[in-house]
Chain A
Amino acid sequence: MNPNQQTYPQENSFLLEVVQASGEKIQACYQCQKCSAGCPVAYAMDILPNQLLRHIQYDHRERVLSSKTIWICASCYTCSVRCPNNIDIAKIMDVLRNLAIHSGIKPGEKDIPLFHSVFLDTIKSKGRIHELSLIIQLKSKTKDFLKDAGLGWKMFRKGKIKLLPSRFGGGKEIQEIFNEFEKGARR
Chain B
Amino acid sequence: MGQSMYIFLLVGFVGFAILAIFLRDLLKAAISLAFSSIFLAMIFFHMKAYYVGVFEISVVAGLITVLFIATIGLTKGQGDVKERKIPLVIFPLFFIAFLFLDVVIMNALKTQMAVLSGKPEVPHFPQVLWGFRTLDLVGQIGVIFAGVFAVLALFRKGGTHE
Q: Do A and B bind each other?
A: no
